[in-house]
Amino acid sequence: MEKLSQESAPIYEALEKFRKMRVVPFDVPGHKRGRGNPELERLLGDRCMNLDVNSMKPLDNLCHPVSVIRQAEELAAEAFHAAHAFLMVGGTTSSVQSMILSVAKRGEKIILPRNVHRSVLTAMVLCGAVPVYVNPQCSNRLGIPLGMSVADVERVIRENPDAKAVLVNNPTYYGVCSDIQSIVKLAHDNGMYCLADEAHGTHFYFSDKLPVSAMDAGADMAAVSMHKSGGSLTQSSLLLIGPNMPEGHVRQIINLTQTTSGSYLLMSSLDISRRNLALRGRETFEKVIELAEYARKEINEIPGFYAFSKEIINKDSVYDFDVTKLSIHTLETGLAGIEVYDLLRDEYDIQIEFGDFGNILAYLSIGDRKRDIERLVSSLSEVARRFGKTKVDLIEQEYIPPQVAVSPQEAFYAEKESKTLRDAIGFICSEFVMCYPPGIPILAPGERVTKEIIEHIEYAKEKGCTITGPEDAEINYLNVLKGV
């Protein structure tokens, strides 16, 4: 069999060949190449609608790929230094959930930092695994959780020798990296898997000026958000595995929850984006790094803003830093991050990725231009001048150590009752509460509600954070375990 080349895009090429055949469709989707939904066709265009097709022999099947999808997976594995890669059409949430479900069953432990994405904990609701937290160290100045200290991971492994896996954020939303190579070795030396939530680290595979990637560090599985910094369509993702993970077992796990109607628009976008990164990724991300460094230099000349970078590295809880992450501390302006986020959107038509209590994140990737950076810098300068005020005592600590009382699954499915936020103090929460983005829970099912957590939620509401998770959309009530 002829060796595949990174210059090819098997799914895209098969779709182009199929499009030219002018096949008459008596299958799904029901819009029949757009004819049945002219308004949608006007929105998306006839080319897009013609490529929104169902699985068939010439186009392979995502659940059991044997031809073009299989080839696209093999090319992705090669590009991302993995033993195998799975194309995921349920977002990186689906990739993360498949990682957890592949290594742990009900009652089994996974060691992880508390500042994980909600998908990690929703997976535990599904499979019944139990989280064992390594409390991340925090930056008091920046008010953000950092990475996991290797010494802390070693201690928790020693206390929980029966754990099945250790999960690492590589990197965090803010760009902070733990020492993933040392953590992988610790996990493997103790008979555990090492999993990486690499949602924000796609670009690590295409530059030696960025932190080490999970696969190069020896991790067993990594969930990679191609749509974030890799350029594919929203909701498309990759799940990478190392040589110690059985491909067939992981495929079975993925097929428990992933659709049997995989979108060829999403899959072809993964295919084309992988080709783009494999051929041009190194030079592209070189430019992204240059843009980020230029932006950081300019922003740090604006009084009150601090765009932090590698100077926060301490070789422990901040082992390395992703310089493409333009994270900006705002509190010296007297403004919370979420307030700057709102001002940039409402006054200057600039959409930032997220704002928390003390920081904003401008997400830079392959599509950014210098003139857009300049517009961001000038707008931040105006925000500081027009809206800045004397620094006030805002909540600076983003991380509140959780009190885990029962497993996420047990709490989620337990008999529950609704209580006002203040009345819920002392009870065990049965639902998620999180600011989105980044989607890191303030509260997760099974955790004890404390006064500090309620104050955190009230402050987030007051500052205009988008809070999701609870059954009560107004976030005035919480569901808690009945009588507990």
CB–CB of 27/19 below 8 Å?
no
Structure tokens at 396: 């600076």
Phi, psi of 468 (to 5 degrees): -125, 170
**Domain 281-387 in CATH: superfamily?**
Aspartate Aminotransferase, domain 1 (3.90.1150.10)
What's the CA gap between 359 and 337, in Å, rounded?
A: 4
Burial (CB < 10 A; 0-12, 13-18, 19+), residue 188, is middle
- Helix, strand, coil share (%) of the chain residues, nearest 5: 40, 15, 45
- What pLDDT, on the 0 to 100 scale, is given for residue 1? 47
Q: How far apart are alpha carbons 154 and 110 in whole angstroms?
A: 14
Cβ atoms of residues 111 and 165 within 8 Å: yes
Give the model's pLDDT for residue 23: 86
If one looks up domain 61-278 in CATH, what number appears? 3.40.640.10
For residue 395, what pLDDT is reported?
56
Q: Which residues of the chain have pLDDT under 50?
A: 1
What confidence score (pLDDT) does residue 145 get? Answer: 87
* H or E stretch at 84: strand 84-88
Q: What pTM was estimated for this model as a whole? A: 0.94
**Per-residue pLDDT at 399:** 62
**Burial bucket for residue 315 (CB in 10 Å: 0-12, 13-18, 19+):** exposed
**What top-level class would CATH report for the domain 408-481?**
alpha beta
Per residue in 73-107, pLDDT (tens digit) is 999 999 999 999 999 999 999 999 999 999 999 99
Q: What is the pLDDT of residue 140?
A: 81
Which residues 6+ apart lie within 8 Å of 14 measured at CB?
58, 59, 60, 68
Cα within 13 Å of Cα(287), Cβ side: 11
pLDDT at 2: 60
| Domain extent listing, the chain | 61-278, 281-387, 408-481
Identify the pLDDT of residue 256: 95
